[in-house]
Amino acid sequence: MRWTRVGNGREPHRGRRGGGKCNADNQEEGLTSLGNLRKFTFKELQSATENFSSNNILGAGGFGNVYKGKLGDGAMVAVKRLKDYL
C-alpha cells in the first residue's frame, strides 16, 4: 500500500457539507489520500532511528516517545513510536 496525492494541491477539498464529492477518480481503490505523504514500513523507521535508540529521543509524551531519524535519502525525520497497551 502507498499514499497517493489527489488533485493538484490548489483545489480546495469539498466535503459532504458543501454538497460536493471527493474526487474518487484520482484515488486507487482501497487507498486513502493524505496530501503529499509517504507511508513507511516499520523496518525503514527502525533503521532511520537506529533501532529506536535512546540516544535519538527528542521528547516523550503520554502516547510514546519521539525519535530523531535519518532516512536512506538523507532526509531528517521525527518518528513517534506509540506505546503498546494490551
| Nine-digit cell string for 32 | 486513502
Q: Is 80 annotated as a binding residue?
A: yes
81 in Cβ contact with 56 (< 8 Å): no
Strands (E), the chain: 57-61, 64-70, 76-82
Residue set of the binding site for ATP = 80
List, as residue ranges, the binding site: 80
